[in-house]
Amino acid sequence: MNFVEDLRRSLRALKDGGIILYPTDTIWGLGCDATNSSSVQKIREIKSRRADSKSLIILVSDLMMLERYVKAIPETASRLISVSTSPLTIIYPEGINLAEGICSNDGSVGIRICNDKFCRELIRQFSKPLVSTSANITGQPTPSNFIEINKEIIKSVDYTVKYRQKDQQVLFASPIIKVENNGVFKILRK
């Protein structure tokens, strides 16, 4: 299967409210339309035992898309984005226009501007952010590449992307930094 066909099938699944298993600029993720509450609930069911109060990270294709899903981008966050040379997830004070279950109880939301070629193009063509949560059952180890993903996870999704399945590179989740409107920030995961 080629890149274009993989994109087409992924888009079809997302538009139908389905769940995809896909490569990101970090680890493989379970993804769905971050504006569709029933799809978000399906992700939580696949993950099992994930607390409803725990927010989900979403991916956007660029800064313009980011601006549509946060109330404001603190200056500190803008600077972090501009100097980061690797994937970086930032928790913004207030998410907007997102499905129930994406934001934390305090309204904050974790968002990463994706740099992976396939993932960025998928989000760009979908024109909406994607949920990106690790492809594992809650409490189990996070797989670092496709061959480590539990078979039950693979069976539970509507479409599994073929692109990068044979990649053996060991990948890690991105650092997470929480940024407040006043510019104060805290590193939550290195």
Tokens linked to 88: 């970086």
Mean pLDDT of 46-70: 86
**Cβ(132)–Cβ(37) below 8 Å:** no
Interval 129-181: pLDDT, tens: 999 999 998 889 899 889 999 999 999 999 999 999 998 888 888 999 999 99
Q: Does domain 3-189 fall into CATH 3.40.50.2300?
A: no
Which is more confident, 85 or 124? 124
Which is more confident, 101 or 59? 59
Residue 50: per-residue pLDDT: 58
Domain boundaries, the chain: 3-189
CA torsion angle for 149, 118, 128, 155 (degrees, to 10)?
-30
3-class state of residue 88 by DSSP: coil
Residue 9: per-residue pLDDT: 97
Interval 27-46: pLDDT, tens: 999 999 999 999 999 999 99
Answer yes or no: is pLDDT of 52 > 70.
no
Mean pLDDT of 56-82: 96
Q: How crowded is residue 85: how many other Cβ atoms within 10 Å of its Cβ?
A: 6
Per-position b or e across 164-175, b if 16+ CB within 10 A of its CB: beeeeeebebbb
- In this prediction the pTM is 0.93
Residue 62: per-residue pLDDT: 96
Answer yes or no: is pLDDT of 53 > 60.
no
Number of H helices, E strands in the chain: 6, 10
Residue 174: per-residue pLDDT: 92
Name the pLDDT band for 49 (thresholds 50, 70, 90): low
C-alpha distances (whole Å) from 144 to each of 16, 26, 34, 99, 152 are 28, 9, 23, 28, 17
Answer yes or no: is pLDDT of 185 > 70.
yes
